[in-house]
Amino acid sequence: MYQIKILNKISPVGLERFESDRYTVGSEVAGEDGIVVRSAPLLDYEFPESLLAIARAGVGVNNIPIDRCSEAGVAVFSTPGANANAVKELVLCAMLMSSRDVDGSIQWVREQVKAGVEVSTVVEKGKSAFVGPELYRKTLGIIGLGAIGSLVANMAIALGMDVYGYDPYLSVNAALRLDRHVHVVQDIRELYKRADYITVHIHYTPQTKQMIDEKAIAAMKRGVRFINLARGEIVDDEAMIAALDSGWVAAYMTDFPNNALVQTPHVVAMSHLGASTPESEQNCAAMAVDELKDYLENGNIHNSVNLPEVVMERSGLMRLCVIHKNVPAMLANITALLSRDGINVENLSNKSKGDLAYTMVDLGAPLEQRVVDEVRQLANVIRVRAIL
Ligand SMILES: NC(=O)C1=CN([C@@H]2O[C@H](COP(=O)(O)OP(=O)(O)OC[C@H]3O[C@@H](n4cnc5c(N)ncnc54)[C@H](O)[C@@H]3O)[C@@H](O)[C@H]2O)C=CC1
Ligand SMILES: O=C(O)C(=O)COP(=O)(O)O
């Protein structure tokens, strides 16, 4: 039986994919082989020796200690694109709310009622305080044109906006998804100087930490409306609050509230709602569970953030899966041990990603435990599994 620990609330559409005769699934499971998680913080989590993989039902993996996982040979999976539409739709809501003061207007209406005023008698007089511009024919700047950014770009074109996108690592697939009217710029300052609205859709990493700082904000147009449904840490809060106070930034819409931001005028802070739709929760859960199961049962790797993509039809009688450092001669050293024992290699794949590599070998006959142990003892080998 595989032991699967569930952290966070994961849609049953995903959890039901774990067959009860092969998997024990729950939040109290110990000695887990796999973890399914959303945003629960795992940076200080003590992994048991047994842990083989973590599946993030979502895309941001800044809550997972990737380096520590790589060192321990723990595969980390995510679900690219599975929640992108949900975020795109909330960006539309945020753009509208940054423009038309819907939040202020609703609050004002409630306050009238609370104060004993018949609100219908004051609406027409009061509404002028909440006027705001339309999106049509305004310019949107998008930082990051991946799964979410590209959907936002195409949506904004359909709304009649002029769209500028910046993504120095734009993948060919993402570029092909973009409407041809999107202007892709090489220099982020081109976007800053033009955009009436800016939305950010990048991962939070040491490189993107506080990327939106005082200097970046100063390069933007006065009165810009800024939307951050990516991660709070990408924006320097102090610089943003100062810019809101001075009026340089007209509105800051964020999915990552903290008390200082919430108490600042012109901030609308939500409770990390970007992926909180039933559709996206189901998509993410199903994809995460499928990735985890295929890894546990077959060693196949789909959508890992720390290991290469390696997927192979099963053949032979045993599959050997080796996570090792990406250094010369590993393949030769592994296959030498197999051939020395007279075992035929039916099929083989060897790929690398950064400092790690993965070798998956289908064998014509099961290996003796001692050979598996010898592979395990090879220099630069991190983890070995033999799957029947
Ligand atoms: N609020 C919410 O609930 C959600 C938030 N997110 C956040 O959105 C982020 C992006 O998600 P996806 O679009 O699905 O990821 P993705 O991987 O498809 O796209 C990210 C894009 O950012 C680009 N990029 C990297 N560094 C950059 C830089 N310095 N400047 C400009 N572009 C850069 C990459 O080349 C890539 O195209 C996630 O990492 C997560 O933090 C994602 C889903 C839900
Ligand atoms: O996928 C992401 O990066 C998200 O931010 C969504 O997080 P959640 O699964 O809603 O906790």
- Sketch the domain layout of the chain as residue ranges: 1-82+276-307, 84-269, 310-388
Say if CB 289 and CB 36 are below 8 A apart: yes
Q: Distance, CA 16 to ligand 2 centroid (Å)?
A: 21
Q: Distance, CA 275 to ligand 2 centroid (Å)?
A: 6
| Residue whose CA is at the smallest distance from ligand 1 atom 30 | 167
> Residues lining ligand 1, judged by CB closer than 6 Å?
58-60, 80, 83-84, 87, 143-149, 166-170, 174, 201-204, 208, 229-231, 255, 272, 274-275
| Residue whose CA is at the smallest distance from ligand 1 atom 26 | 202
* 341 band by pLDDT with thresholds 50, 70 and 90: confident
Per-residue pLDDT at 371 exceeds 90: yes
Q: Distance, CA 60 to ligand 2 centroid (Å)?
A: 6
Q: How large is the average pLDDT for residues 189-194?
A: 98
Atom of ligand 1 nearest to the CA of 86: 44
* 321 band by pLDDT with thresholds 50, 70 and 90: very high
Per-residue pLDDT at 342 exceeds 90: no
Looking at all shown ligands, the one closest to residue 283's CA atom is: 2
Q: How large is the average pLDDT for residues 53-74?
A: 98
Which residue type is seen at 369?
Q
Structure confidence at residue 340 (pLDDT):
87
Question: Is the beta carbon of 275 within 6 A of some atom in ligand 2?
Answer: yes
Question: Is the beta carbon of 334 within 6 A of some atom in ligand 2?
Answer: no
Q: Distance, CA 268 to ligand 2 centroid (Å)?
A: 19
Smallest CA-to-CA distance from 203 within 384, 318, 63 is with 63
The yes-or-no answer to whether 1-82+276-307 and 84-269 have a common fold is yes
Atom of ligand 2 nearest to the CA of 255: 5
Q: Enter the CATH code of domain 310-388.
A: 3.30.70.260
Question: Is the beta carbon of 231 within 6 A of some atom in ligand 2?
Answer: no
Say if CB 380 and CB 325 are below 8 A apart: yes
Q: Is 49 left (phi over 0), alpha (psi -120 to 50) or beta?
A: alpha
Structure confidence at residue 379 (pLDDT):
97
Atom of ligand 1 nearest to the CA of 80: 14
The pLDDT mean for the chain works out to 97
Q: How large is the average pLDDT for residues 293-314?
A: 98
Q: Distance, CA 201 to ligand 1 centroid (Å)?
A: 4
Structure confidence at residue 76 (pLDDT):
98
Say if CB 355 and CB 70 are below 8 A apart: yes
Q: Enter the CATH code of domain 84-269.
A: 3.40.50.720
Per-residue pLDDT at 365 exceeds 90: yes
Q: How large is the average pLDDT for residues 253-260?
A: 98
Q: Distance, CA 112 to ligand 2 centroid (Å)?
A: 37
Contacts 24+ apart (CB under 8 A), 160-169: 160/135, 160/136, 161/135, 161/136, 161/137, 161/197, 162/137, 162/138, 162/194, 163/139, 164/139, 164/140, 164/190, 164/191, 164/194, 164/195, 165/141, 165/191, 166/141, 166/142, 166/190, 166/191, 167/143
**In the numeric block, which tokens belong to residue 45?**
């989590």
Question: Is the beta carbon of 58 within 6 A of some atom in ligand 2?
Answer: yes
- Decide: helix, strand or coil at residue 239: helix
Structure confidence at residue 388 (pLDDT):
93
- ipTM over 0.95? The verdict is yes
Looking at all shown ligands, the one closest to residue 185's CA atom is: 1
Q: How far apart, in Å, are the Cα atoms of 224 and each of 195, 211, 251, 384?
A: 7, 17, 7, 53
Q: Distance, CA 200 to ligand 1 centroid (Å)?
A: 8
Q: Distance, CA 140 to ligand 2 centroid (Å)?
A: 24
Question: Is the beta carbon of 56 within 6 A of some atom in ligand 2?
Answer: no
Q: Distance, CA 191 to ligand 2 centroid (Å)?
A: 27
Atom of ligand 1 nearest to the CA of 166: 31
Q: What is 1-82+276-307's CATH topology?
A: Rossmann fold (3.40.50)
